[in-house]
Amino acid sequence: MNQSIINYNSGKDEYKNWIVSETEFNVKYQKKCEAIFCLGNGYLGIRSATEESYLGQLRDTFISGTFNKFGDNEVTELPNAADMIAIDIYVDGELFSLEKGIVSNYERTLNMKTGELKRYFTWTNKSGKTFNFLFKRFVSFHNLHLFATKVEITLVGCDANIEIYSGINGQVTNSGSQHFLEGEKRIFDNRYIQMLQKTTESNITFVHNTVHNLKVDEKEDIPTYRFEMDRRKVGINYNSSVLSNQTVYFEKISNIYTTRDKDMEGMSIKEIKDISLKNIKHSRSVGYDALKNVGCKEWQKNWDSIDIKIDSDDDYNQLAVRFAQYHMLIMTPKHDNRCGIGAKGLSGEGYKGHSFWDTEIFILPFFTYTMPEIAKSLLEYRYNMLEGAHIKAKENGYRGAMYPWESAWIKDGEVTPVWGGADIVTGESTKIWSGFIEQHITSDIAFAVWQYYQITGDEEFMNEYGYEILFDTAIFWASRLEWDKDKNEYHINDVVGPDEFQEHVNNDAFTNYMAQWCMEKAVDYYKILKENNSRVFVRLNNPEYSGLNLDKEIDVLRDKTNKIYLQLPNKDGLIPQDDTYLSKKNIDLTKYKNQKNVGLISKDYNPKQRNKIQVSKQASVVMLVYLLEYKFNNKIKQSNFDYYEPKTLHDSSLSLAIHSILASDVDKPDFAYKLFRKATEIDLGTNMKTSDPGIHAASFGGIWQAVICGFCGVRMVQGKLRINPKLPEQINSITFPLLWKGNKLEIKVTNNKL
Ligand code: IFM
């Protein structure tokens, strides 16, 4: 671990608290900055690997929604598109590398206000020649297909031969899985490089284009160049003799289109090739700087609707919240309601680009309260996969919509891998049970639909999509319940709740309460629609249209809502997490609570052994009393927080922020602040290994909620807006925008005023 490598104070003046930087290049830690400095626009995500190559890099480029299944034993994943970031630079025949020569004044900065990544340093090679390097890069926020790099190399008091190789490299894989069949390669007009490749199973054609602009000082250079074409690879090699104090300006402008793109729907590959080529020609004529400026305007518009101003003694707080929002903006496919958000956004191969409840419960509130159009599109994604949810229910012997634990393309159904890492006792692969029995996601999605509706008042969305999701998910739960004839009540047995350390439990509190909530809402809206919205009711009640027969379902739903077993709080307010949690043994968890890296307990106990201990991975009952808070008073919140937090290792990145909110609710502002800070450090902190496979998308949503719903106390309670601030003493004030039923509010919270 290197404490000083990440700098939070690089931004000055208008960029104060907008810039995160890396102050030293270290090959060992490259993956961290590749992920946390990721660039994107929701369609495209590019890890910030350096232009020159180093061992251990992950040179990933992902396009939202382009899932492919590599083999029968693998699950579908987002394939790594051809690399168009790489640029090889040779100085007097020697390949430039930061591992050779002397490097000084190094800094790499991510400017979250403009979406631009910069890297600069002075490099002296082994012959004693010195060069100033500046690399700039952006992914356009204006034209979703476009991204560009600009390299400037200034020769300090020496002449040199500069050779640059750059192009399109389809030899990259997803950890060895090559998802593409090789396609056409071509160089047009001696400049425009085009390469196609097609995914092996989903048959999506990717069209990649790149072009370069080379200048020495202000003059366009006509260097010697050589075409290079290889397997899955095509590029151009430029060679120029440059004089002392001259600067080489090398621009690389690229685009990607695919046959899955929403804006290319119905087009032939030939048409897409032509459009992409026309666009790359236009982009080249505009050039890096002007293209970037257009994108910046788009960034500004986005920030105008979401920026939170935090006045505190530590500027890091302001930066950390912007960092969370920056990532949520670049990871979210707002352009396409057939795509969801991956658990790592588009910043790495982790979780294969799949969507979890992370979207609905963690990330969605940010969009619902500030950019509802985007929240709506994400919910439509869930609507669009109803067919797959019906199939999953049927395969498991149930009815209605049973959402997959992990989702990819809308038609893919359940895509959770079945096998995970090695069991420390048996040495065998551990079975991942979530895809089979982590079922609460079905109510989480219904909950998000209702939350969106209450906050935005978007009746049209409900008529078109929302009510159908509510009824369909409730029907699933009704079919899922198991009758216990001795107790005269319905149970939900053999599940994994949000706390994934506890597998195969019965009556998980979170799962049962949320299932009841879901059925209860369906019962309520049955009545409301029947009485007040007959057009929609008639449509939804017609099995030919919606597959639903509400009149037939309603009595069963009502009965099951009343008879489902719920873990009730005991006299101290404690809610058992499930049927057996409270009777499991307690062990000393100090070692694990103080761990530097998550997952320490899994090195000492395998899942079976862990299952016998009162230890939790993440918020579960604590999450329940947050989401359904109108059902629980403060005493209950307090006693569950006090009981479960000490048993929770926060081994999931989804945990800290939710605990921070609850700590705010139960008047523990210092603890709330501490948990918030820890949540911000998951990706932005100085631990250089936490983000290697990609950032933690849900934790960014959690950070936003910890500030807005925790410190500022914003909550939608039963359709009403409540603001009950609990600022910690480290924060003087927070000012933030909020949309409430279409009204734009600007809210300022101080220690004694709202
Ligand atoms: O959805 C989460 C889950 O709650 C804990 N494990 C990781 C998943 C993806 O972030």
Tell me: the pLDDT tens digits for 244-258?
999 999 999 999 999
Distances (CA, A) of 268 to 182, 184, 258, 599: 18, 15, 11, 48
Contacts of 170 (CB under 8 A, 6+ apart): 82, 83, 180, 182, 195, 197, 208, 232, 233
Q: How far is the CA of 754 from the centre of ligand 1 (A)?
A: 35
Contact 518, 546 (CB under 8 A): no
Instruction: Answer whether residue 714 shows pLDDT above 70.
Output: yes
Instruction: Report the length, in residues, of the chain.
Output: 754
Q: Which atom of ligand 1 is nearest to the CA of 698?
A: 10
Ligand 1 close to Cβ of residue 652 (< 6 A): yes
Return the best residue to mutate from 352, 500, 624, 655 for the ligand 1 pocket (most ligand atoms within 8 A of CB).
500
- Residue 752 sits at φ, ψ, to 5 deg, of -135, 10
* Helices and strands (DSSP H and E) totals, the chain: 24, 28
Q: What would the mean pLDDT of 495-508 be, rounded to a whole number?
A: 98
Using one digit for the tens of pLDDT, what is the confidence trace for 377-393? 999 999 999 999 999 99
Q: Is the pLDDT of residue 642 over 60?
A: yes
Is residue 644 within 8 Å of 655, Cβ to Cβ?
no
Say yes or no to pLDDT of 531 above 80: yes
Q: Is 357 in the pocket of ligand 1 (CB under 6 A)?
A: yes
Mean pLDDT of 123-135: 98
- 385 pocket-lining for ligand 1 (C-beta < 6 Å): no
Query: In ligand 1, which atom is closest to the CA atom of 696?
Result: 10
Average pLDDT for residues 127-148, to the nearest whole number? 98
CA distance 186 to 206: 14
Q: Which helix (H) or strand (E) holds 749?
A: strand 743-750
- What value does the mean pLDDT take over residues 207-216? 97
Which pLDDT tens digit goes with each residue over 64-81? 999 999 999 999 999 999
Distance (Å) from CA 499 to ligand 1 centroid: 10
As a whole number, mean pLDDT of residues 330-337 equals 98
Whole-number pLDDT of residue 224: 82
Mean predicted lDDT score pLDDT of the chain: 97
Residue 221, pLDDT above cutoff 90: no
pLDDT at 509: 98
- Whole-number Å distance, alpha carbon 738 to ligand 1 midpoint, is 28
- Residue of 341, 351, 358 with the most ligand 1 atoms within 8 Å of its CB, for mutation: 358
How does residue 3 score in pLDDT terms, banded at 50, 70 and 90? low
SS3 content of the chain, % helix, strand, coil (to 5): 35, 25, 40
At residue 423, does pLDDT exceed 90? yes
pLDDT interval class at 223 (50, 70, 90): confident
**Taking the CA atoms of the chain, what radius of gyration do you get in angstroms?**
27
Query: Is the Cβ atom of 695 under 6 angstroms away from ligand 1?
Result: no
Is it the case that residue 626 has pLDDT exceeding 70? yes
Segment among 75-89, 211-225, 494-508 with least mean pLDDT: 211-225
Segment 283-306 mean pLDDT: 98
Ligand 1 proximity of 490 Cβ (cutoff 6 Å): no
Mean predicted confidence (pLDDT) in 729-741 = 98
Whether 472 shows a pLDDT value over 60: the answer reads yes
Distances (CA, A) of 434 to 356, 482, 496, 516, 632: 11, 20, 7, 21, 28
Burial of 88 (0-12, 13-18, 19+ CB in 10 A): middle
- pLDDT reported for residue 218: 80
Hey, whose CA ends up nearest to atom 6 of ligand 1? 652
Q: Which of 124-128, 315-319, 543-547, 618-622 has the lowest mean pLDDT?
A: 543-547
Q: Which atom of ligand 1 is nearest to the CA of 357?
A: 1
Buried b (16+ CB within 10 A) or exposed e, 113-151: bbbbbbbebebebeeebbbebebbbbbbbebbbbbbbbb
CB-CB contact of 749 with 734 (8 Å): yes
Share of the chain above pLDDT 90, in %: 97
Give the pLDDT score at 552.
97
Instruction: Give me the active site residues, please.
Output: 500
> What distance in angstroms lies between residue 751's CA and the mean position of ligand 1's atoms?
35
Extract the tokens encoding 39: 């660039």
Average confidence (pLDDT) over 408-414:
96
Task: Check whether 679 has a pLDDT greater than 60.
Answer: yes
Q: What is the pLDDT of residue 2?
A: 46
Rounded to an integer, the average pLDDT of 329-349 is 98
Q: Ligand 1 mean position to 58 CA, how many Å? A: 22
Neighbouring CB atoms inside 10 A of 713's CB total 18
- What is the pLDDT confidence band of residue 1, given thresholds at 50, 70 and 90? very low
Ligand 1 centroid, distance to 356 Cα (angstroms): 7
Q: Is the CB of 444 under 6 A from ligand 1?
A: no
Per-residue pLDDT tens over the stretch 575-584: 999 999 999 9
